[in-house]
Every structure is written in structure tokens, then in C-alpha cells.
Chains A and B, each alone.
Chain A
Amino acid sequence: MNSLLNLIVNGLATGMLVFLLAAGLTLIFGLMSVLNFAHGGLFAWGAYGGVWLYGLTGSFAAALAGAVVIGMLLGWVMERVVIRPVYGNHVQQILVTLGAMLVLSELLKVVFTPNPLKAETPAWLSGSWDAGGVILIKYRLFIILVGALVYIGLTLLLRRTRIGLIVRAGVANPDMVQALGINIRLVFTLVFMFGAGLAAFGGALLAPYSGVVFSEMGMQFAILAFIVVVIGGMGSIQGSALASLLVGLSGALMAYYVPDLSLAANMLLMVLVLLVRPSGLFGAKGGGA
């Protein structure tokens, strides 16, 4: 029972980290129809930025906030320089964003170090609680809590605010949003920056969880995030949240109970969902929240 609960907590924590990456990805794809394979690079930059800032300031909150700023700035540059010239062309998007992913990874080695960096867990989040014989690791619970808060915040943002309505409308029909007098290009840029900030936030949260950060980590998580976006349905935050938890849980449980299938588990899950619902759990376009 103890190990099952721990597996569930592990799975949920991994799922929440993937959600932070997938949420931005799904909004960027849903609204802008951009396949951003460099999203994982922003995640890795957030992880490195968080570790560096934590070492510099000793404040975990400052490290997380700083990582978000780094991610948003990189996102802004990327949207203007890399993405803008290839709007509407998926083949070119794949090529340039894969290239950007490699550049972002290599730049991490240049700016920081080619070696992996050790990531410390803040003292107040280290250790575990013993809940009636079940050992609950504090940092993993913290990730689950933060992930849940981000999900609630995102849902409220999309449901209750004007900018949220505009983003949801833009996912359904960007041309029509423009025809209502709304600068959709500016909305694109803001959403891209927001998605990049979320990815970097996820990376900064992951660092103490894995204990080490390395430049190729982005690609590893980006693949999971793409699987999540496909399972959840393009453009749907709700779908991404559910799919992230499914992917996290299936990965954790399969690794323990059927290790031989653990690598294939997510792919099998995706194939299964696509066979039953080709547009993902929460449909294709139009499911902005």
C-alpha cells in the first residue's frame, strides 16, 4: 500500500511537471497553429536559470520568478525571430523549432557549463512526512500543489477574464477575432511568452525534483508534453491537465509493475486514445479551456 501511494504521488508530481510544459504548448498550438519543438529548450533554460538564481539569491521564490522571466524573454525573442517568419507553414515550423531546440541546448553549455548542474532542494521543502506509515516526500507534494494551483489559475484566467475569452475565441477562429478589432498578433506574442514562462517555471520546479539539470533534459520532457497535447486535444487546457496526470501515473505505475513496457506505456496510451477519439479527449479546436 505504501509503495502504491508513493507511486501515485510520484506519478502525479511528474504529471504536473509535464502539465506545466504541455499547457503552454497546447495554447500555442491551439491559438497559433504553431508546432513548437523548441518548447523543451525553454523548459531546460528555466531549470538552469532556477538553479543559477537559487545559488545566487538563496531564495527559491526568487529562483522560480526569475526562471519565469528568463522563459518569457526567450519566448519573446523566439516568437519574433524564429516563429513569425514561418506562421502557417508546419514543415518550416518543425525545421526551425527543432533547430532552435538544438541552439537553446547548446547555448546552455556555453552560458553555464557543459557538465550537468546539481540542483538543491530548499530546506523547507526537503524531507518527508510519515502519514500513518506512508512516507510522503514534501517536494513532490509541493509540485502537485503548485501544479493544481496553476491549473486553477489558468482555468480562471481563460474563463473569467477578457484576455482569456479572447484567447479561447482565437483558438476557435483567429481571423474572426481580428475582425472584432483585436490585435491577434499581439495576443499571439503574449500567449507565446506566457507558454514559454510556464515551461521555464516547470523546468525550475523540476530541478530540485530530479536533483540535477542537464542541457538535453528539454527534449526528454518535450516528447512527453507532445504526447499529452495529442491525448488531451489540441488547444484544451482541461485535456492537457487530465492527459498529463494519465501520462504521469501510467509512467510511474508501469515502471514499477511492468518495467519492460514502461517506455512504451505513454505511446500505447496515446494510440489507444486516438483510436477511440481521434481528436483527443477534449476535442480539437474550440476547447480553449
Chain B
Amino acid sequence: MTLLKLESVETHISQYHILQGVTMDIQAGEVTVLLGRNGAGKTTTLRTIMGLNAASGGRILFKGEPVEKLPAYQIARRGIGYVPEDQGIFADLTVDETLRIAMKRGDPAARERLSWMLELFPDLAAFRERKSGLLSGGQKQMLAIARAYVGNSELLLIDEPSKGLAPIMVRKLVEALRLMRERTTVLLVEQNFMMAQAIGDAFYLMDEGRIVSGGSMAALNEDHELRRKYLGIA
């Protein structure tokens, strides 16, 4: 079942035409990886879906409903969570305070999701009273993912979670995202191809603001020419 559909989405940021007709289908229950070189438009795609950059053309349908004209907070309320590339940590707030803000009022499932996140990321449970700005890079990433998940469990947009992390932390994240796949849908932007291979079900490949290829991750694993041309790896 298609959870999120982008139809010819265009995005301009000041005079720059960043997204030039992006079309994608994200299937429920899958991890879809958005790949491409730096500057291809991956982050802008996530920000446009989230409503943080306005789409100047095309349509974005979430659960069949158009969301491209909605402000970011309404898109979030419909069930889309966002983990930005810089993690967007509230440095002055503790881990506990951050997670409290993210939990929606009157959402009976939020407590259960919080408990599961603390189980999945024991570091967060251990440092609940610590200021978020004092966490390590990996812990900040865990907090950013947990914050998005406790408030919005249907679709998570995660931007380069492995960036700047030690290999052991990347392995922990891969493990966590594998488990999260059982409960939610993920659209993941990732430069680390090993990580993308490890958890992706499907992929889209972007170049210069356009989708140039898409399909199953297994197909990409076989297509050495595509990988070499757009990702620079054999």
C-alpha cells in the first residue's frame, strides 16, 4: 500500500530551482532509501514533504490526502515525523523534557511508544535528566529518532543518521532501524551505502533535483553501472 506519493514536486529556494519534478511512491512498512551525491536535492525533498520548504509545484499525498499546502505542524499531526541531518536537538532541554514535548496530548499510544524507544535506546533511559546538548553524537541521533517516533509513528523521514558517527554507533543504529521497520515506515536519506544496503527495502536515486532511478534495493545491488555512475561506487 502506498503511504506517501510525490507527483512532479517542484521546490524553489530563493532563486534556485532545487527539486525539478520529483516523483516517488513510498510503500507502507518498508524502509525506502533516497540516495544521491551531495547537492542532489535529498534533504530538500525531506524538508518539502515535511512542509519546511514550500513546494512550488506538484502534489504530495499522504494516506491519499494532499498535504503540500499544509504548514509543517499540521503535516506532523497527520503522522509524519522528521529527523533532520543536524538532529535539531534542543540543547538546553533534558532528554526527558525533549521527549515530553514530542508526545502528543491525548495520544494513548504515546507512552507505549516512549517505553519502547527507551528499551531500544538504553542510553536515553540512562541519561533522561541530562541536557540534550551534552549527549554524544550517537546519543543525540538516538534522541532525534526517538523524538520523531514517539509523536509520529506512521512515517519517519530520517536524514543521514550515520553522518559523523563511529562505526560501532552506526551498527547500533542499523540494528535499531531494522527493529523499527516492524512498526513504522521510513524514508531514509543516506550517503553510507553499506547502511543503506543493510536496512533498505527500496531505493530512489536522485541527481540534480530529479529522480533518475528507483526500485528494490536488491536490484540496485546488482546494477553496478548505476551505482558507479551516480554514487561513485562499484
**Residue ranges of A at the interface with B (Cβ–Cβ < 8 Å):** 162, 165-166, 168-169, 171-173, 175-185, 286-289
Contact = CB atoms under 8 A, between A and B. Distances in A.
A287 B133 CA distance: 11
Given A169-B98, A180-B76, A181-B77, A175 B52 contact: yes
Contact of A165 (B73, B76, B100): B100
A179 B92 contact: no
B72 A178 contact: yes
Contacts of A177: 101
A168 B77 CA distance: 21
B48 interface: no
A286 B133 contact: yes
B92 A178 contact: no
Given A179-B50, A179-B76, A181-B73, A288 B102 contact: no
A172 B82 CA distance: 16
A178 B100 contact: no
B93 interface: yes
A191 to B, nearest CB: 16
Given A166-B101, A175-B52, A176-B84, A181 B76 contact: yes
B71 A173 contact: no
| Most-contacted residue by chain B among A169, A171, A172 (CB, 10 A) | A169
B37 interface: no
Contacts of B147: 180
Given A176-B84, A184-B73, A169 B90 contact: yes
A162 B101 contact: yes
Interface in B58-82: 71-74, 76-77, 81-82
B50 A180 contact: no
A162 to B, nearest CB: 7
Q: Report the interface size class on chain B.
A: 20 to 34
B27 to A, nearest CB: 23
B163 to A, nearest CB: 17
B88 interface: yes
Contact of A178 (B52, B81, B148, B152): B52
A181 B104 contact: yes
Contacts of B81: 179
B102 A180 contact: yes
Contacts of A166: 101
Nearest to A178: B72
28 contacts: A165-B93, A165-B97, A165-B100, A168-B92, A169-B93, A169-B98, A172-B90, A172-B92, A172-B93, A173-B90, A175-B52, A175-B88, A176-B88, A178-B71, A178-B72, A179-B50, A179-B52, A179-B76, A179-B82, A180-B76, A181-B74, A181-B76, A181-B104, A181-B151, A181-B152, A286-B91, A286-B92, A287-B92
Contacts of B73: 178-184
B79 to A, nearest CB: 9
Nearest to A287: B92
B92 A288 contact: yes
Given A181-B73, A286-B90, 16 more contacts: A165-B100, A169-B93, A172-B90, A173-B88, A176-B82, A178-B51, A178-B73, A179-B76, A179-B82, A179-B84, A181-B76, A181-B104, A181-B151, A183-B71, A185-B71, A286-B91
